[in-house]
Chains A and B, each alone.
Chain A
Amino acid sequence: MRIRFKTEGGIAHFPGLSQPVTIDCDQLPTQEAREVEQLVADARFFALPAGAGAGRQGAADYRHYTITVEAEGRRHTVQVSDPVADPALQRLVAYLQAKARALRRVRSPE
């Protein structure tokens, strides 16, 4: 399973944070890979509509996320904005955010 995760929007545009990150389960420790697959399954990701929740009228500074999951020959992309209502999808987004943060730190040592 491969996940591509892109964050956009928010109160400012940070070029560094808007770069997409790719998480390849083959590269993860077995335990973590299993957890990621469980998060995707719990969110019923492949059954989600492509645009799961647009920003409310008049809303501003909210972030949106573009998540693409490839697994077993399937590929699906979902765009979602804060606040993410579905708790299972929220957990997936939270994991991806934390992972993206960690990957950026590794890629850009100070």
Chain B
Amino acid sequence: MYQRTAQRHSLFCILPPHILRSIAQNGTAQQRTASMQTLAIDHTFRALRTRPRLGVPARPRMLPAEGMKVRTIFDARHTQTLPGEVVRIEGGPPTGDVAVDEAYDGLGATYDFFWEIFERNSIDDEGMPLDATVHFGQNYDNAFWDGQRMVFGDGDGDLFNRFTISLDIIGHELAHGVTEDEAQLIYFFQAGALNESMSDVFGSLVKQYVLGQTAEQADWLIGAGLFTANVNGVALRSMKAPGTAYNDPVLGKDPQPAHLRDFVRTFEDNGGVHINSGIPNRAFYLAATKLGGYAWEKAGRVWYETLRDSRLRPNSGFQRFARLTVSNAARLFGAGSAEEQVVRQSWSEVGIMIH
């Protein structure tokens, strides 16, 4: 299968370690040699991330086996008191409450995506239990990550439906936990826009993975289905065409730029974190569609490894992040590879030049 054992095995690099290990155990002699060498290379690669994690207190807990998720859904019963009452635990049957069951299934899909594609065991890669609260507040038009749990409002029914309705929103919130665990990107200005973009990237990938869509087939919308019929718009954001997701008399017009020349300088929205994320979002969309196939296989892998890269600092801006994606593409697929060039080209199309 792969003869050049002294070299990087580009295809093996995109295979998750559990598949590599399976090949190492069950493959032909040649495959076993190659996959075992890749595992060895990849371990050094993973070990690059040596910076200690901040702000994650040690907590007593039962450690589930790897690959086993532990979900708990709470109901705030229309108050703003967290966490609320437990209404569904791992393995429990559907409750018939749509928000509860969507949250349960969405957390499961997101966990499975990170485990099956990146062999990441939950938010902290150590099996952290996944907690979500639904029915938060009254007519509450938002979903957020409070640093420990996902919280979903029911929407006002006038502009917004319930916030569990979009799988990518659930993935978006959970990915905030992953970003906090790996990179602590400061939630302000460009670092905050990168933080937001990571959540859109992985939220969208979870949806694409569940739907079995290629980059070409995906809609690249964030929050499709969230707006009621009263709103003139399709979603919260479009990664493919930032700035086009809605244009409505009440909500206003989607303010996202698609190119660095239209970067919005503001102190609103934590310095434009949900505005300027359009720029890195589009770079990801471009890379994924140019690379073709399933977006999580190549582009997603590059972005994920960049998020885990110790050179990504909490205050990193677009330029540094972009440079690290090019560097990681070269490490994963080879220096001068088509993949490296595509990633560099994608950034240049949104105005960020990496030489």
Contact = CB atoms under 8 A, between A and B. Distances in A.
A108 interface: yes
A74 interface: no
B272 interface: yes
Given A58-B55, A94-B138, A13 B250 contact: no
Interface string B121-147: 000000000000000111101111111
A59 B144 contact: yes
A104 B159 CA distance: 12
Interface in B172-192: 172-173, 176-177, 180, 184, 187
Interface residues of B, number: 48
Contacts of B199: 60
Given A57-B147, A60-B144, A11 B274 contact: yes
B249 A108 contact: yes
Contacts of A90: 80
A13 B275 contact: yes
Contact of B142 (A11, A58, A59, A101): A11
Contacts of A56: 146-148
A61 B80 contact: no
Given A57-B55, A104-B250, A12 B274 contact: yes
B169 interface: yes
Interface string A63-101: 100000000000000000011110000100010011001
Interface string A1-25: 0000000111111111110000000
A103 to B, nearest CB: 11
B287 interface: no
Interface residues of A, number: 34
Interface stretch (B212-220, B251-259, B317-325): B251-259
A82 B140 CA distance: 11
A110 interface: yes
A90 B187 CA distance: 25
B337 interface: no
A63 B253 CA distance: 19
A63 B81 CA distance: 16
Contacts of A110: 230, 249
Given A60-B176, A94-B138, A8 B249 contact: no
A105 B249 CA distance: 9
A9 B139 CA distance: 17
Most buried by A among B136, B144, B249: B144
A63 B230 contact: no
A11 B250 contact: no
Interface in A27-64: 55-63
B270 interface: yes
A97 to B, nearest CB: 8
A18 B269 contact: yes
A63 B151 CA distance: 12
B51 to A, nearest CB: 16
Given A13-B272, A18-B269, 8 more contacts: A8-B269, A10-B274, A11-B274, A12-B237, A15-B251, A61-B142, A82-B80, A83-B146
16 contacts: A10-B144, A11-B172, A11-B236, A12-B223, A13-B268, A14-B252, A17-B252, A56-B147, A60-B173, A61-B142, A61-B145, A62-B145, A83-B81, A101-B156, A105-B250, A110-B249
Which 3 residue pairs across A and B have the least CB separation, nearest first? A15-B252, A16-B252, A58-B180
